[in-house]
Amino acid sequence: MYSPQPVVTRLAFTASDRPEAQEAMERLAKRYGAVSEEEAQIIVALGGDGFMLETLHRHIEQPKPIYGMNRGSVGFLMNEYSEDALIERINAAERTIIHPLSMVAIDTKRRQHRALAINEVSMLRQTRQTAKLRISIDGKMRMSELVCDGALVATPAGSTAYNLSAHGPIIPIESDALALTPISAFRPRRWRGALLSHTARVTFEVMEADKRPVSAVADNFEVRDVVEVHVSEDRSVSLCMMFDAGRSLAERVLAEQFSA
């Protein structure tokens, strides 16, 4: 049975360090009132896409719906900024649920590092030497040697970010899929990556780690000098972003596939 969302009246505001974001937060809090993030039904994030990711990460242990408004640059994950009818816009907004990636990275001293990534987990060379990676999916080796600047695993939400810049595919937001994309592959030259089930467990092994050091990055969390990295989707974590009616994240991702 359909259960309507409760009417939103209690808002918390958070903003990036940009002056325009800080000024907007002050005006909106004065106009609409503000409660603490613990008391709020919705958190309004003012900034750019990076700040949206930062806000999602900050609430990953106790997720709350986040409605972003662009006071940054690109703003793909943000709504258009307007100070008018904010309560009405939020109550009419569409909700998108996303699941992050879990990264377990093992460094050269065999220490384990764990992190969650909303956009992607990236393997990146640390020096002028190209990286050499071995890739396994669900315990089966699929590529014995990828010589490259790196490789990444992206979620549908992150497929339009670094993944797209690396010529990876845009994935519809409702898809149960992940993108595995090479970054500047040298060998094999023609490999463009793979689309994987969201249940896939991806393992990267770093070959010649002493000579060709590699770092692993889960969004903005970096582990240097890794030798092995395991990536999988974490369905136990559900994050909610809110978008103005008719401008859902699914619509934005679809439109991106037809942009010049």
- Which CA distances in Å does 76 have to 41, 70, 161? 23, 9, 9
Look at residues 145, 162, 163, 154 and name the one whose alpha carbon lies nearest to residue 206: 145
Look at residues 5, 136, 117 and name the one whose alpha carbon lies nearest to residue 57: 117
74-78, 154-158, 184-188: which range is least confident on average?
Answer: 74-78
CA distance 260 to 248: 20
| 168 phi/psi in degrees, rounded to 5 | -85, 170
Percentage with pLDDT > 70 across the chain: 97
Cα Rg, the chain, nearest whole Å: 20
Quickly state the pLDDT bin for 9 (edges 50, 70, 90): confident
Flag whether pLDDT at 154 surpasses 50: yes
Which DSSP symbol is given to 130?
P
Which DSSP symbol is given to 126?
-
Complete domains list, the chain, with CATH: 11-98+238-256 (3.40.50.10330), 101-233 (2.60.200.30)
CA distance 203 to 228: 7
Measured in whole angstroms, the distance separating CA 80 from the mean position of its chain's CA atoms is 20
Catalytic residue among 17, 49, 149, 210: 49
3-state secondary structure 138-205: CCEEEEEEEEECEEEEECCCCCCCHHHHCCCCCCCCCCCEEEEEEECCCECCCCCCEEEECCCCEEEE
pTM: 0.91
pLDDT value at position 68? Answer: 97
The answer to whether residues 202 and 146 touch, using CB atoms and an 8 Å cutoff, is no
The answer to whether residues 206 and 133 touch, using CB atoms and an 8 Å cutoff, is yes
Tens digits of residue pLDDT in 157-193? 999 999 999 999 999 999 999 999 999 999 998 899 9
CA distance 202 to 196: 9
Q: What average pLDDT score do residues 59-84 get?
A: 93
Q: 69: which strand partners?
A: 46, 79
CA distance 204 to 150: 10
Type and span of the H or E element at 50: helix 49-58
Q: Is 49 a catalytic residue?
A: yes
CA distance 45 to 81: 11
pLDDT value at position 260? Answer: 67
